[in-house]
Amino acid sequence: MTQIPHYLVIGSGIAGLFFALKASEHGYVTIVTKDAVDNAATTYAQGGIAAALGTWDNPQKHFEDTLIAGAGLCDEKAVEILVHEGVRCVEELIDLGMPFTRGKDGKLHFGREGGHNESRVLHDHDHTGRSVESFLLKKIYAKKNIRILTKHCVVELASEHHLKERGNSTVVFGAYILDVLSGKIHLEKADFTVLASGGAGRVYPVTTNPPVSTGDGIALAYRAGCRIRNMEFFQFHPTALALKGKNPPGTPAFLITEAMRGEGAILKNPKTNRAFMVDYHEMRELAPRDIVARAIDAELKRDGLDYVYLDISHKDASFVREHFPLIYGTLKEKYNIDITQEPIPVVPAVHYTCGGVLVDYEGKTDLENLYAIGEVASTGVHGGNRLASNSLLEGLVFAARAAKHIVRAASDTKINSYRKTAQNLGEWDHTNTKNPEEWVLVSHDFKEIRSLMWDYVGIVRSTLRLERALRRLDVIYGEIIDFYNRTVISLDLLELRNLALVAQLTIRSALKRKESRGLHFMTDYPEHREPSRADTIIEPRHFPGKKHYG
């Protein structure tokens, strides 16, 4: 009898949704997401999707720009895959009906962003991510064999550690999932599990990421036995709206898309009104993000500024309103800033996790039947600094590759064997846990972790700062685990545990890299941008058995 595979997808951004569409042609798919299904980092993406579709462009040029932006650390084979297969994936989106912006002649409009030497960024005005997310969800809703569990959070990946007779952790059989509303935890078995849970920007207090970006997938994979790669490379987007104290805590910093600089916006020092990027790089405002972010940071520190200006008011007002309707409308209505008449106050904000779960070119992790795609994964394409608008492209490309590989691997013999073993998985054990009175500790730890990361593991780092941060993080993490082991599990507690672990992994990775490269800038060491495959790998520690496991 032919077995129909069951795929479990953790996350609902572009990578998870595109994978689900592909996999649904061959089996049943369950998508698990912590909040509303469209509350993903993809929805917040403004710029677009980079792909060499223009007649003036080609994948080789895209390849070269990606390597340069990546500060010499990119995996060249992974980049080759990205730029060539990316063209086909974007063409597939277009064929499916994705409404990218077109000019009056009906042809696709290509924007240009930092680090690109050609205009190759397809977009839907300045809200591409929101449009892509909505477009893919419509396709998902039309599929009867795709089930979506909103307000559900993964507690642990179900592996051989959870068998009644515990074995070595080499196979993943699904996940233990918390229903956030009811507080109940159930075992969701799956033949193949795919992490598509996004990044970890919320480990910092100032980030463009949504509140759900707490590094869950990275923490889940590491605890299950996966290696983690290059976590020292957190990308700071150079231009997020600087409005200190005007947004509620935890509100994502409003992103000012890089495409604005691609259309001529200029960075200026408010004290001197001088355009300063000419002092830092020959590409000025269109230099790679790591360089622009450090330049802004240097201006802020030298002159004691709270922000710099991004000015596009010299461009025609109708042009600005047409090209950046989301930014224009939001700033005018919410903050009384008219970008056609005045500059925008901006600061760098954490934007993207370039490292993550170590995977191969098909998205396979170290554990059997576990894949990782999108921002949670370290495919090698971003190196030491992600090229603008390569993130959505990476999500598409490696989702398609993972789906193709899994379909080929899903033989009846293997599925039957895994399902037989999975019958011995224990249910989640709630015994000896209680609701403590000290929930204030959770919110306090959130604040302290983020403060430590911002103060000591920011744009510019030093060995002294990192060591100090790690000592404190080790203490905090130990306290959190003690609290976790005796407490009824909640979403806040799961996110805190994951966030603390990701902070530890980031600092440990940063201490291992004895150089400045791309997004990792150390005052102790000189900068290198020559090609290097010296990745930072964090090996999983011995799995500590938790009494929650049955």
CATH of the domain at 298: 3.90.700.10
Task: From 394, 382, 406, select the one nearest 90 (Cα to Cα).
Answer: 394
pLDDT at 11 over 80: yes
pLDDT at 545 over 50: no
CB contact at 8 A, 29 and 407: no
Same domain, 275 and 342: yes
Same domain, 18 and 139: yes
Same domain, 227 and 280: no
90 falls within a domain: no
Amino acid, single-letter form, for residue 45: A
Same domain, 15 and 134: yes
Domain boundary at 372, 393, 422, which? Answer: 422
Domain boundary at 422, 450, 477, which? Answer: 422
Domain boundary at 350, 374, 398, which? Answer: 350
Same domain, 514 and 486: yes
The gap from C-alpha 199 to its chain's centroid, in whole angstroms, comes to 3
Phi then psi dihedrals of residue 172, to 5 deg: -110, 135
Query: In this predicted model, what pLDDT tens digit does every residue of 278-318 receive, in sequence order?
Result: 999 999 999 988 899 999 999 998 999 989 999 999 999 99
Amino acid, single-letter form, for residue 133: E
The neighbouring-strand residues paired with 372 are 195
66 falls within a domain: no
Average model confidence (pLDDT) across the chain: 91
Task: From 93, 22, 529, select the one nearest 288 (Cα to Cα).
Answer: 529
Same domain, 341 and 383: no
Same domain, 302 and 262: yes
What is the structure's pLDDT at 61?
A: 97
- Give, in order, the Cα–Cα distances in Å from 312 to each of 5, 309, 518: 52, 10, 27
What is the structure's pLDDT at 423?
A: 87
| CA atoms within a 13 Å half-sphere pointing along the CA-CB vector of 487 | 20
What is the structure's pLDDT at 418?
A: 86
**Contacts for 351 with CB less than 8 Å, ≥ 6 apart:** 201, 207, 208, 209, 235, 236, 237, 240, 255, 289
Same domain, 277 and 335: yes
- DSSP 8-state class, residue 304: T
506 falls within a domain: yes
**Contacts for 442 with CB less than 8 Å, ≥ 6 apart:** 483, 492, 493, 496
Whose structure tokens read 């008219």? 338
Task: From 230, 200, 219, 227, select the one nearest 157 (Cα to Cα).
Answer: 219
Same domain, 165 and 273: no
Q: Residue 155 sits in which domain range?
A: 6-44+126-233+354-422
Q: Bin 141: left if φ > 0, else alpha if -120 < ψ < 50, else beta.
A: alpha
Residue 513 a catalytic site member? no
Same domain, 30 and 171: yes
pTM over 0.85: yes
CB contact at 8 A, 404 and 308: no
pLDDT at 530 over 50: yes
Same domain, 31 and 139: yes
pLDDT at 549 over 50: no
Q: What is the mean pLDDT of residues 423-441?
A: 74
Euclidean distance between CA atoms 451 and 528, whole angstroms: 28
Which CATH number covers residue 516? Answer: 1.20.58.100
For the chain, how many structural domains are there in total? 3
pLDDT at 383 over 70: yes
54 falls within a domain: no
Greatest Cα pair distance, the chain, in angstroms, is 75
Which of 289, 294, 386, 497 is flagged as catalytic?
A: 289
100 falls within a domain: no
- Number of residues written out for the chain: 550
**Contacts for 282 with CB less than 8 Å, ≥ 6 apart:** none
Going by pLDDT thresholds of 50, 70 and 90, the confidence category of residue 245 is low
Secondary structure class of 337 (helix, strand, coil): coil
What is the structure's pLDDT at 115?
A: 87
Query: In this predicted model, what pLDDT tens digit does every residue of 129-183 receive, in sequence order?
Result: 999 999 999 999 999 999 999 999 999 999 877 665 555 558 999 999 999 999 9
Same domain, 504 and 363: no
327 falls within a domain: yes
> In the numeric block, which tokens belong to residue 319?
């042009």
434 falls within a domain: no
User: If you write DSSP's letter for every residue of 481-503 in order, what string do you get?
Assistant: HHHHHTB---HHHHHHHHHHHHH
Euclidean distance between CA atoms 431 and 486, whole angstroms: 9
493 falls within a domain: yes
